[in-house]
Structure 1
Amino acid sequence: MALVRTLALSPATNLFFSISKPPLTNTKTPALSLNPLSSSSKRFHFQRSLKCCADFRDNQYSQAVTHAKPAEIQWNKELCNSVHLIGIVGAPVEIKHLPSGKVVAWTRLAVKKSANDTSWVNLTFWDDLAQVSSQHVEKGHQIYVSGRLITDSVENDEGKLQTYYKVVVQQLNFIERSSSRGLHDSDFNSTAAGKSHLLRSKILNVNLWCGW
């Protein structure tokens, strides 16, 4: 009893030591201890995210290497600007002898993608090829040409520059008449024949209507 009174009368002991009060606890600690699975679930989610990202990168890499890389070739000046065309000559070849002694010839080439889709390309021949083309190439011939694509700028009547593309031919060959061209021509002829038949049918219907 005397000991209790001594402790009670001592102000220093009351400030720093109390037997009756329970020890202070950290309020944050029970919150963590109440849900022991929260931290582990976060770690699991983080590990699962890392695994998903790794799997995605692995799949993307495996898809990227399924196609072989194109082979490398040596640099070639002739390949920097190279054009290859097969088409039908659409105009007679014109030739001109220049004062410098050079010879130039030109014509137009119709490149058909289908019976209703045709692209026109201007062709230019120089020197020996100009002579060859003027002597052997005629309108309606099917030829193969390879060369360089260049541009010409011409001023129109309004004073504006218009750009035209043409091919300076470096190689010229004739195409053999094959079954493929025969089929292409037959498709073209059948399409034209169908349009002509449709036109005749319309005219016949008009005549019959006028007769009535």
Structure 2
Amino acid sequence: MAGINKVILIGNLGKDPEVRHLEGGASVAHFTLATNDYYKDKQGNRVERTEWHNITAWRGLADMAEKYLKKGQQVYIEGKLRTRQYQDKDNQTRYITEIVADEITMLSARPSGTDGPSAPEQATAAPVTFRQEPELDQLPF
């Protein structure tokens, strides 16, 4: 039986997406997402803990992120966990764990006072979902 690698998050964007356009026309977007947990400490005080997630979106999702997403927006993300390695400037091997997005749903409109186009569907306050189309080698048949 195959394993399952699925992540579901709802949080706020920590920064505007950084988008790169690669050779061959592919786009990739990177941004952070903050999720919050609440618990009570030994004294009964409510404590908030923020977890930061690195999000990567490819192709059409990257283009959508560049066009519509801004720091502070609340979004729903579905994707898979991926760990990759790279060499830092001191030639040390580093590892980063990120969520590769398959689906992004905008749960809040753009923060007020931001420039640029808004998703037309946001005027109705209904969530807008964008999905990554599977590549041919990812199809299950």
TM bucket, shorter chain: 0.5 to 0.7
Matched residue type, 2:4? C
Residue 116 of structure 1: how far off its partner (Å): 2.9
Identity %: 29
Q: Decide which structure has the larger Cα Rg and report it.
A: 1
Taking structure 1 as reference, are residues 135 and 164 closer, same or farther at Cα in structure 2, changes over 3 Å only?
same
SS at match of 2:100: strand
Residue 157 of structure 1: how far off its partner (Å): 4.7
Q: Which residue of 65, 82, 85 maps to 1:153?
A: 85
| Cα distance in 1 for residues equivalent to 2:108 and 2:18 | 24
RMSD: 2.0
Q: What is the aligned partner in structure 2 of residue 40 from structure 1?
A: none
Q: Say whether 1:98 aligns with 2:30.
A: no
Alignment of 1:1-212 (within 5 A): 80-114=4-38, 116-175=48-107
1:53-101 alpha-carbon deviations (Å, 9 max, x no partner): xxxxxxxxxxxxxxxxxxxxxx6x6x71111011110011111111121
| Cα distance in 1 for residues equivalent to 2:5 and 2:54 | 16
Contact 2:73 2:108 in 1 (8 A): no
Residue 158 of structure 1: how far off its partner (Å): 4.7
Taking structure 1 as reference, are residues 165 and 100 closer, same or farther at Cα in structure 2, changes over 3 Å only?
same
SS at match of 1:100: helix
* Structure 2 length-normalised TM: 0.64
Matched residue type, 1:82? K
Runs of 4+ in 1 over 4 A off after TM superposition: none
| Cα distance in 1 for residues equivalent to 2:77 and 2:32 | 12
1:170-206 alpha-carbon deviations (Å, 9 max, x no partner): 00112259xxxxxxxxxxxxxxxxxxxxxxxxxxxxx
* Structure 1 length-normalised TM: 0.44
Structure 2 gap segments, 5+ residues each: 39-46, 110-141
SS at match of 2:64: helix
Higher relative contact order (CA closer than 8 Å, sequence separation 6+): 2
Matched residue type, 1:127? R
Aligned length: 101
Structure 1 gap segments, 5+ residues each: 1-74, 178-212
| Cα distance in 2 for residues equivalent to 1:154 and 1:110 | 24
| Cα distance in 2 for residues equivalent to 1:150 and 1:102 | 19
